[in-house]
Amino acid sequence: MAPAQSKLATPILLRESTIRAVVSQLTQLYLSNRTRISRAVYITLFVALINRVRNAIAEQKAASAHDAAKRSERKGTTSSVSTAADDQDAAAAAAAAAKKKKKVELNREFFRSLLRLLRIVVPGWRSKETRLLISHSFFLVLRTLISLKVAAMDGAIVKALVKGNGREFLMRIVWWMLIAVPATFTNSMLSYHQAELSLRYRTRLTQFIHDKYLSQLTFYGISALDDRIKNPDQLIAVDVAKFSNSLAELYSNLAKPILDMTIYTLSLSKSVGGEGVVFMALLVQLSANVMRVLTPPFGKYVADEARLEGEFRFQHSRLIDHAEEVALYAGHEAEKDTLDKGYFTLIKHVNYILRRRFYHGFMEDFVIKYFWGALGLLLCSVPVFVKLPGQAVLNMGDRTESFVTNRRMLLGASDAFGRVMFSYREIMELAGYTSRVASLLDVMDDIQSGHFEKKLVSSSGTENNEAVLRGRGKVVESTDIEFIDVPIISPNGDVLVKALSFSLKQGDHLLVVGPNGCGKSSLFRILGGLWPVYGGTVHKPPFTDIFYIPQRPYLSRGSLRQQIIYPDGLRTMRAKGVSDADLMAVLRMLGLEHLVELYPEGWDAEAEWRDVLSGGLQQRVAMARLFYHRPRYAILDECTSSVTLDTEKAMYENAKALGITLMTVSHRRSLWKYHSRILQFDGQGNYVFTGLDAEKRLALEDEKEDLDVLLRQVPELERRIEELTAL
């Protein structure tokens, strides 16, 4: 932060002497120049200079305030994680806190984010977007020039009318109609360019985000490991579109009025005098500054509205996803409460914005339309009431022509200025969308570099926080699987197992058992690379060699064939040399061949498979997927819970025959016989890893159960003995 601040401070100090020299030079030039236009230019330079100094002072103030806030924030964070005594972590936490407090304002942060997004949507000078922007700009200039011509023609028409010259009047009308052709064409081109630009921005941004979101498991990190983005779907599908629209709109809403203002003001200053224009510009600038101070933070409002919209939509999509469960619980009233709450929170906010917009619009209209309009009329009357030096006395026709032309140009200029002022609100809205989209990009970058932020709800507090921030385990690629002192830590910071060590060779089938929530699935999340390795070393084969089947398999959209070969596509299947007949052989192993015959389209049948197939059928389809892929290792996480013992037998025996090493999480005793190793968690953070002799273990378990039954009978037997003794 320090270098940034000195960068700001130095120019202001240096400028004190420079400013004095520039001011005296400008004064001399102003006094020595006679023409009104050049005088106007010097006055404008004065105003620009004053503005620049004022902005620099404001920037410096903001920078020192930001610096002070950051320093105090850092102090606070360091003491709260003082047990960690780790500067790196403290800095990360401070940065995170600073990010959380980020407001939507037109500050450096906004321009930095906007620049980042601009680089994505307009990737280079030779890009199609640049060409579109150039031709858009060309039509913007053309339209201003046409408007200028129309203003002059307006004056000439009224002059012909005042003079009573019918022939000239008609000629002027014909010209007027002719100019309408390029004018309307230009207008249509402008609308087309704006819409096309918006579409292109959206496409670029969506492609960029999709590439990042779907690489390095970022989508999983956003939803499971990090708390900052609640609804990425809304951000990608809606906010990106709104940002693109807003950006494309802003360019035409800003570029054209600025151009109009410059050209009209220059033309006006020729006929009404440079000083008049500059004086009026000063008044306008003053009132504009007052308006800016009174403008509410619309950017923040827009960002909040988008967030609330997203949350409301998310609640609806949850209801759709879990419609059956909610219906069976008769949970519609509870769901209605949640939905109503989400909707009314959103509407309360929208209403609040509407009210703020109402007061703001009232003030904006008054200043822009009436106050500036009156100023304009005063300015237009200058050539009529004031005889400017070097100007000939005007007759009635000329006066009318000059008034009408000036009035028209002035209306154009004030309309343009009004639009620039109105666009302040649009810029604030753009700032809102920019902040939302940029925050998604920031979080994706963080996740890809291994930095997560999640509210810790664990009972063990700071100790876990430290571990989450550090994540310093090692991952080594190997053909076998080995964990050496690897802690299992949930994203909430709960330490499920302090240091886990075990090793597994190909062909060693592993059974993982333990009570609910002890970390059985979490072990495989680490193995699959979903959760970071916070310590120790993990030796594991590449991702493609391990296949995972959960209890509720994921069934994708698409054909029946696609369910078996997922995530491969048809082309990859063909490239692997697999035919539909091979797939049928796989289905036969699991007694599923009737599925293909069930639908007239056969393998190409499409359906919402999640609803069409029963729980057991879904598990069998998932197993067929495993047989198609034939990986070296398979993680079977309670994936036979809904099938019969016969089907389970077919699944396990075929999987082993295909040379797949199995790692099973299950509470079913019927599965023990398929495994040679066991990893047993006790739910208190301890575990045992040993060989598994299923028959011996089953006999021991049976004996234990018999003893348990006998033990449970002891009180009853004792009571009976007491009864008999008493008798």
Ligand X SMILES: Nc1ncnc2c1ncn2[C@@H]1O[C@H](COP(=O)(O)OP(=O)(O)OP(=O)(O)O)[C@@H](O)[C@H]1O
Q: Which residues make up the interface to ligand X (CB under 6 A)?
A: 224, 490-492, 496, 514, 516-522
Q: Which amino acid is residue 234, in one-letter code?
A: Q
CB of 675 to ligand X, least distance (A): 17
DSSP reduced 3-state for 208:
helix
Angle between the N-to-C axes of helices 108-121 and 396-448, in degrees from 0 to 180, rounded to the nearest 10: 90
What is the rounded distance in angstroms from the CA atom of residue 483 to the CA atom of residue 475? 10
CB of 520 to ligand X, least distance (A): 4
Instruction: Select 78 or 522, whichever has its Cβ closest to ligand X.
Output: 522
Instruction: Select 197 or 526, whichever has its Cβ closest to ligand X.
Output: 526
Instruction: Select 220 or 343, whichever has its Cβ closest to ligand X.
Output: 220
CB of 53 to ligand X, least distance (A): 53
Q: Which amino acid is residue 682, in one-letter code?
A: D
What DSSP assignment string belongs to 650-662? HHHHHHHHTTPEE
Closest CA to 517 of 497, 537, 546: 497
Instruction: Select 357 or 552, whichever has its Cβ closest to ligand X.
Output: 552
Q: Which amino acid is residue 204, in one-letter code?
A: R
CB of 493 to ligand X, least distance (A): 9
End-to-end CA distance of the chain: 92
Residue 510 forms beta bridges with which residues?
663, 677
| Number of residues in the chain | 727
Residues 6+ apart with CB under 8 A from 467: 487, 489, 493, 495, 534, 535
Structure tokens at 654: 């075929």
CB of 415 to ligand X, least distance (A): 55
Residues 6+ apart with CB under 8 A from 245: 198
Instruction: Select 641 or 654, whichever has its Cβ closest to ligand X.
Output: 641
Instruction: Select 78 or 465, whichever has its Cβ closest to ligand X.
Output: 465
What is the rounded distance in angstroms from the CA atom of residue 94 to the CA atom of residue 70? 8
The whole-angstrom distance between residue 55's C-alpha and the CA centroid of its chain comes to 31
Q: 351: burial class by Cβ within 10 Å (0-12, 13-18, 19+)? A: exposed
**How many Cα atoms sit within 13 Å of 428 on the Cβ side?**
19
Q: 547: burial class by Cβ within 10 Å (0-12, 13-18, 19+)? A: buried
What is the rounded distance in angstroms from the CA atom of residue 363 to the CA atom of residue 290? 10
Instruction: Select 269 or 490, whichever has its Cβ closest to ligand X.
Output: 490
Instruction: Select 412 or 532, whichever has its Cβ closest to ligand X.
Output: 532
CB of 539 to ligand X, least distance (A): 21
Residue 513 forms beta bridges with which residues?
680
What DSSP assignment string belongs to 132-197? HHHHHHHHHHHHHHHHHHHHHHHHHHHHHHHHT-HHHHHHHHHHHHHHHHHHHHHHHHHHHHHHHH
Distances (CA, A) of 712 to 301, 577, 720: 66, 60, 14
Instruction: Select 419 or 520, whichever has its Cβ closest to ligand X.
Output: 520
Instruction: Select 130 or 492, whichever has its Cβ closest to ligand X.
Output: 492
Closest CA to 238 of 305, 318, 157, 287: 305
CB of 494 to ligand X, least distance (A): 6
Instruction: Select 166 or 517, whichever has its Cβ closest to ligand X.
Output: 517
CB of 199 to ligand X, least distance (A): 37
Closest CA to 299 of 402, 403, 184, 437: 437
Other Cβ atoms less than 10 A from the Cβ of 340: the count is 11
Judge contact between 155 and 407, C-beta under 8 A.
no
Instruction: Select 439 or 522, whichever has its Cβ closest to ligand X.
Output: 522
CB of 342 to ligand X, least distance (A): 23
Instruction: Select 151 or 518, whichever has its Cβ closest to ligand X.
Output: 518
DSSP reduced 3-state for 476:
strand
Other Cβ atoms less than 10 A from the Cβ of 506: the count is 14
What is the rounded distance in angstroms from the CA atom of residue 618 to the CA atom of residue 563? 10
CB of 677 to ligand X, least distance (A): 18
CB of 535 to ligand X, least distance (A): 17
Other Cβ atoms less than 10 A from the Cβ of 520: the count is 23
CB of 555 to ligand X, least distance (A): 20
Instruction: Select 17 or 459, whichever has its Cβ closest to ligand X.
Output: 459
CB of 517 to ligand X, least distance (A): 4
Distances (CA, A) of 137 to 193, 256, 324, 331, 656: 10, 8, 55, 57, 68
Instruction: Select 621 or 665, whichever has its Cβ closest to ligand X.
Output: 665
CB of 617 to ligand X, least distance (A): 22
What is the rounded distance in angstroms from the CA atom of residue 268 to the CA atom of residue 381? 12
CB of 672 to ligand X, least distance (A): 17
